[in-house]
């Protein structure tokens, strides 16, 4: 492990240890936060019982769907908007201020239209995540060196082949930033939407456990989501580093 | 110089009364149309090495792009091997640009193989041509490296290799050594001469460096300030078997001096210098 990796690990272990100690010696009341070791044990028991499998399946399924839709549709929209400079000029102010508007205010409207189904959650998730992908795509395409377009013409590539074989790989680092943001926003939006108003899912489960003062269950589920989100982001980070290393000739 | 080694008199590419005018930009505060080039006439002979020099912004790169088919001429006719070139790059033309146009996501080998793969060439033939070209360009040991691991000069060699594997009959070089230091430029010049002799292709080099043009070319076209026109085409008379050591010859100094004599006033004009004509005549 690298020196930076060791420091990173030490920070995490130190923080968990400090929390464990604070909970054990009573600095933090058990009714507020349970020790991390208890969270882990409660999570293990919960997973072993299989009682949350359906909720895990549902929530992660929705998250995957939201992320996939946001990436695919955001990328397609980004390409289309990039090709239409006037549309781009008209939309740019909206993109610049999009995340200043809390998209969640439309959640009740979506529930009124679609009912308490998966649909409002998916729509809120996509609405939260897709713009990050659109902006990243536009950003990436803006930064494709103009000379590559000339190279494409010298090689007599069609517009589609130019996009796929040159523009897409050239814009890839920026697109990957969009993917990472879409994943993060997708996670946040789905869990939050379930938390606010949903008949099922991990977000609902956490809200119910909170309402029932069931700290063991609530923290176990929070820990589960933290682990999943961290693992997904770590995997994306590793992939990003691998691509970056290829482009920078192995230099970090 | 033996007669056999003389470039053929056959016309390979031709520009007749070619002009390029960039239209006025629409909207408020619009810029007027820019007359960038011409009228220009040129007969590029088959197998010759022709260099174009001229002041900054005189339309050298526009000239190359019109000849390549990357831009449509506003008026006049461009032909390559007897066929009209009009805004589309013809088969047999290869272009190397000043900017680093290597693909950072591909290895050197894959960069070189790019065009052949797009053209659907068989894998065995791709391997043969790429290996051969990389060996010729001195890149064999770097075949698995990525462009970011190479120097600027080597990245430019990758771009040249990517052009050479397609076996172009006309190679257009748009200031390919502009970003390199003086020594590397001399050595790259030797490599270009080597590839020119080996491929038998016609080469047109755009450069701002008079010494580079004088050293490399059979003929050098001196271009006026914008709109670019040829004010003189100088025959260097170099033998086909030549390299950068000719910079020590008296004739090299004479050619360079002649080019500067023709271009000094044009360069002053390009800089917007008042009284450029009288200063140039001094």
- The parent domain of residue A163 ranges over 34-247
The answer to whether residue B107 sits within a structural domain is: yes
Note whether residue A252 is domain-resident: no
Same domain, A123 and A89: yes
Residues A153 and A172 placed together within one structural domain of the fold: yes
Quick check: B70 and A153 CB within 8 A? yes
Contact yes or no for A151 and B118 at CB 8 A: no
What CATH number did the domain enclosing A80 receive?
A: 1.10.3720.10
Q: Residue ranges of chain B with pLDDT lower than 50?
A: 1-6, 281-282
Q: Return residues 102-121 of B near A (CB < 8 Å).
A: 103-106, 114-115, 118
State residue B4's pLDDT score. 35
Do both B128 and B265 map to the same domain?
no
Q: What is the CATH number of the domain that holds B271?
A: 3.40.50.300
Asked if B218 contacts B234 with a C-beta cutoff of 8 angstroms, the reply is no
- What pLDDT is attached to residue B189? 87
Residue B115 shares a structural domain with residue B194: no
Same domain, B41 and B173: yes
Spatial distance between the Cα atoms of B35 and B22, rounded to a whole number of angstroms: 6
How much of chain A exceeds pLDDT 70, in percent?
A: 98
Q: What is the Cα–Cα distance from A81 to B85, expressed in whole angstroms?
A: 32
Flag whether B122 is in a domain.
yes
Cα gap B106→A147, rounded to integer Å: 16
End-to-end CA distance of chain A, in Å?
15
Chain-centroid distance, C-alpha A244: 20
| A123 occurs within a structural domain | yes
Judge whether A73 lies within some domain: yes
Instruction: Determine, for residues A148 and B93 on separate chains, whether the beta-carbon distance falls below 8 Å.
Output: no
Tell me: do B173 and B82 sit in the same domain: yes
Q: B127 with B143: CB under 8 angstroms?
A: no
Distance from C-alpha of B173 to C-alpha of B61, rounded to nearest angstrom: 10
b/e per residue A36-75 (b: at least 16 CB within 10 A)? bebbeebbeebeeeeebeebbebbbebbebbbebbbeebb
Put simply, whether the predicted model's pTM sits higher than 0.90 gets the answer no
Q: What is the pLDDT of residue B274?
A: 52
Mean pLDDT of the A237-250 span: 77
Q: How many domains does chain B divide into?
A: 2
Rg of chain B, C-alpha, whole Å: 19
| Whole-number Å distance between alpha carbons of B13 and B78 | 7
Q: Select from B167, B201, B221 the last residue of a domain.
A: B167
Residues B134 and B234 in one domain: no
Q: Are residues A87 and A101 in the same domain?
A: yes
pLDDT confidence of residue B180: 74
Last residue of a domain, one of B133, B167, B201: B167
Q: Are residues A38 and A28 in the same domain?
A: no
Average pLDDT over residues A40-50: 93
What are the DSSP calls for A39-57, one per residue? HHHHHHHHHHHTTTHHHHH
The total of structural domains in chain A comes to 2
On whether both A88 and A201 belong to a single domain, the answer is yes
Angle at B275 between CA B272 and CA B278, to 5 degrees: 130
Which of B99, B105, B145 has the CB atom closest to A247's CB atom?
B105
Residue A30 and residue A218: Cα distance in Å, rounded? 13
| Angstrom distance (rounded) from CA A199 to CA A196 | 10
Q: What are phi and psi of A172, to 5 degrees?
A: -55, -45
Mutation site for B-interface testing, chosen from A151, A158, A240 by largest number of B Cβ within 10 Å: A151
- Contacting residues of A for B106, CB less than 8 Å apart: 169
Pair (B255, B115) in one structural domain: no
DSSP state of A166: I
DSSP letter for B31, please: P
The answer to whether residues A87 and A117 belong to one domain is: yes
Q: Please check whether residues B270 and B191 belong to one and the same domain.
A: yes
Is A119 part of a structural domain of the chain? yes
Beta strand B75-80 pairing with B83-84: antiparallel
Count CB pairs under 8 A between chains A and B: 60
In terms of domains, do B76 and B203 share one? yes
Selection from B53, B67, B89 nearest residue B206 by Cα? B53
**Residue A11 sits in the same domain as residue A39:** no
Identify the domain containing residue B144 by its residue range: 103-167
Same domain, A123 and A10: no
| Residue A12 sits in the same domain as residue A129 | no
Say whether both A88 and A9 belong to one domain. Answer: no
Q: Which helix (H) or strand (E) holds B195?
A: helix B182-199
Average pLDDT rounded to a whole number, residues A9-26: 93
Residues A47 and A166 in one domain: yes
Which of A89, A153, A154 to probe by mutation at the B interface, max B CB count within 10 Å?
A: A154
Q: Is residue B15 part of a domain?
A: yes
Quick one: B78 and B180 in the same domain?
A: yes
Alpha helices in chain A (DSSP H): 3-24, 36-49, 53-83, 85-97, 107-114, 118-142, 146-154, 159-162, 168-196, 202-211, 215-247
Q: What is the pLDDT of residue A249?
A: 60
Residue B28: inside a domain: no
Give per-residue pLDDT as tens, A221-234. Answer: 999 999 999 999 99
Checking if the pLDDT of A251 tops 90, the result is: no
Contact B99 A246 (CB under 8 A): no
Distances (CA, A) of A80 to A73, A167, A170, B75, B105: 10, 14, 17, 34, 24
Give B115's contacts in chain A (Cβ within 8 Å). Answer: 155
Find all residues with CB under 8 Å of A37, minimum gap 6, and list them: A20
Residues B161 and B177 both lie in one domain? no
Condensed to tens digits (0 to 9), the pLDDT of residues A153-162 reads 999 998 888 9
**B8 in Cβ contact with B45 (< 8 Å):** yes
What average pLDDT does chain A have?
90
Instruction: Look at residue B29 and tell me if it is in a domain.
Output: no
B58 and B82 fall within a common domain = yes
Of B167, B186, B207, which one is at a domain's C-terminal end?
B167
Q: Are residues A82 and A2 in the same domain?
A: no
Give the whole-angstrom CA distance, residue A141 versus residue A174. 8
Q: What is the Cα A44 distance to its own chain's centre?
A: 25
Tokens 């949903």 belong to A198
**B175, B212: one domain:** yes
């Amino acid at each position: 492990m690298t020196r930076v990796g060791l420091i990173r690990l030490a920070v995490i272990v130190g923080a968990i240890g400090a929390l464990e100690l604070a909970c054990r010696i009573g600095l933090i009341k058990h009714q507020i936060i349970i020790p991390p070791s208890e969270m882990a044990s409660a999570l293990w028991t919960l997973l072993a019982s299989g009682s949350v499998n359906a909720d895990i399946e549902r929530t992660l399924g929705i998250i995957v769907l939201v992320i996939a839709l946001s990436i695919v549709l955001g990328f397609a929209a980004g390409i289309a908007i990039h090709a239409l400079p006037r549309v781009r000029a008209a939309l740019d102010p909206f993109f610049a201020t999009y995340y200043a508007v809390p998209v969640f205010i439309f959640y009740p409207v979506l529930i009124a239209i679609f009912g308490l189904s998966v649909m409002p959650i998916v729509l809120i998730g996509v609405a939260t995540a897709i713009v990050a992908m659109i902006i990243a795509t536009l950003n990436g395409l803006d930064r494709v060196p103009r000379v590559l377009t000339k190279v494409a013409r010298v090689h007599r590539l069609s517009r589609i082949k130019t996009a796929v074989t040159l523009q897409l790989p050239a814009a890839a680092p920026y697109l990957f930033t969009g993917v990472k943001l879409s994943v993060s926003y997708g996670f946040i939006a789905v869990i939050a939407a379930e938390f606010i108003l949903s008949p099922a899912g991990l977000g609902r489960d956490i809200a119910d456990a909170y309402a029932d003062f069931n700290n063991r269950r609530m923290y176990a589920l929070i820990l589960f989501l933290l682990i999943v989100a961290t693992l997904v982001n770590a995997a994306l980070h590793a992939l990003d580093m691998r691509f970056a290393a290829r482009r920078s000739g192995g230099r970090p | 110089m033996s007669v056999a080694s003389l470039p053929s008199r056959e016309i390979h590419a031709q520009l007749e009364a070619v002009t390029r005018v960039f239209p006025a930009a629409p909207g408020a505060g619009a810029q007027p149309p820019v007359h960038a080039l011409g009228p220009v006439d040129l007969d590029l002979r088959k197998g010759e090495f022709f260099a174009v020099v001229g002041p900054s912004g005189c339309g050298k790169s526009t000239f190359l792009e019109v000849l390549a088919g990357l831009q449509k001429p506003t008026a006049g006719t461009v032909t390559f091997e007897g066929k009209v070139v009009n805004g589309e790059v013809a088969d047999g033309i290869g272009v190397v640009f000043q900017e680093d146009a290597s693909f950072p996501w591909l290895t050197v080998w894959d960069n070189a193989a790019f065009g052949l793969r797009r053209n659907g060439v068989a894998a065995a033939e791709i391997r043969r041509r790429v290996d051969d070209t990389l060996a010729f360009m001195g890149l064999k040991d770097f075949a698995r490296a990525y462009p970011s691991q190479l120097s600027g000069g080597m990245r430019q060699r990758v771009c040249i290799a990517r052009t050479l594997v397609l076996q172009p009959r006309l190679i257009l070089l748009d200031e390919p050594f502009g970003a390199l230091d003086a020594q590397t430029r001399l050595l790259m010049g030797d490599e270009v001469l080597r590839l020119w002799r080996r491929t038998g292709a016609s080469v047109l080099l755009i450069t701002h460096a008079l010494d580079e043009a004088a050293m490399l070319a059979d003929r050098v076209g001196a271009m006026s300030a914008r709109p670019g026109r040829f004010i003189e085409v100088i025959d260097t008379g170099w033998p086909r078997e030549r390299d950068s050591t000719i910079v020590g010859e008296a004739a090299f100094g004479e050619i360079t001096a002649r080019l500067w004599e023709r271009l000094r006033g044009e360069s002053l004009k390009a800089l917007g210098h008042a009284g450029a004509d009288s200063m140039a005549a001094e």
